[in-house]
Amino acid sequence: MKKLVIAAVLAVVVVVPARAEQFLNILTGGTSGVYYPMGNALSSIFAKAMPDARVTVQATKASVENLNLLQAGRGELAFTLGDSLTQAWEGVEEAGYKAPLKKLRTVAAIYPNYIQIVATEGSGIKTLADLKGKRVSVGAPKSGTELNARAIFKAAGLSYGDMKIQYLPFGESVELLKNKQLDATLQSAGLGVSSLRDLASGEDIVIVPIPAEVIAKTNDPAYVLSMVPANTYRGQTADVPTAAVRNFLVSHDGVSEAVVYAMTKAMFANMADLQAAHAAAREIVPDQAAKSPIPLHPGAAKYYREVGLLK
């Protein structure tokens, strides 16, 4: 009889289910951009706020790749540019989307990317027109940065055929500029991006203005006139007009409401940690966070209702 009781107890223990582990893969961008350090900061924030979660950070080619990976369920949170997000939702094939990505759900509108066209002083480049015939890097093919390059150059009356285009990540572009193997680079990133700070630390640079009339000719409301403030980079003594595009954090409809709510709440409760990771986070405005060109994730919407940002 005693053996039967022990066996019964053991049977009960065996069938108790183990607690499911929550995986959170954060899709970022190249390691020399802004997405990557900010993704690492979010990883630390989530690990503390959600101790049962296993959080990883993946370096990627950024916006377009990130959104396609989310649609395929190969990530739980991703950084993207706003124009890329709209194109993904609509399924714009030439932007890198074979079909509309209708599983996507926004978590937060975050800081703006500034389209920074930077040349070395010795290149002789001062204006967009001066890029003709020059060696120009535009980011990885069909990345958010590269799509920005196409839009801005087209609006300025330029085509890739007018330049010697190279598809290079930020860090590699800077190394080639230092070695006089490249004349200019277009980098869509937060202000003070590490790659351009690195370049300016040892080279005299020129930030090429993007005038308001060029921005208007993109015919895309995602592009707005902004400024690269004076002294953002060494030797830059004046404000320079440029185009800016809002960034977003995005998830998908397969991630639970509870998980996205926890991520959203943890992020806004720890903004100082994000700002310490990169100065671009100082431009995240909570009052703007719930504004999105596609549907919000229910978990994010729950948080925004809780804090009075949604009715």
- Which residues have C-beta within 8 Å of that of residue 72, sequence separation ≥ 6? none
For the chain, give me the number of helices (H) and strands (E)?
11, 10
The Cα–Cα gap between 7 and 81 comes to 59
pTM of the model: 0.83
| The pLDDT value given to residue 20 | 57
| The pLDDT value given to residue 299 | 98
Q: Print burial letters for 185-207: b (CB count within 10 Å at least 16), e (below 16).
A: bbbbbbbbbbbbebbbeebebbb
Tokens representing 289 are 């966070």
The Cα–Cα gap between 141 and 27 comes to 17
What is the identity of the amino acid at 181? Q
* Three-state SS annotation for 249-275: EEEECCCCHHHHHHHHHHHHHCHHHHH
What is the identity of the amino acid at 50? M
CA angle 178, 183, 186 (to 5 degrees): 100
pLDDT in tens, 1-32: 444 444 443 344 433 334 457 999 999 998 98
| The pLDDT value given to residue 14 | 38
- Residues in the chain where the model's pLDDT stays below 70: 1-20
Length of the chain: 311
Alpha carbon separation from 33 to 78, 187, 280 (Å, rounded): 14, 9, 11
Give me the half-sphere count of Cα atoms (radius 13 Å) on the Cβ side of residue 222.
24
| The pLDDT value given to residue 121 | 93
| The pLDDT value given to residue 12 | 42
The Cα–Cα gap between 62 and 70 comes to 12
pLDDT in tens, 155-197: 999 999 999 999 999 999 999 999 999 999 999 999 999 999 9
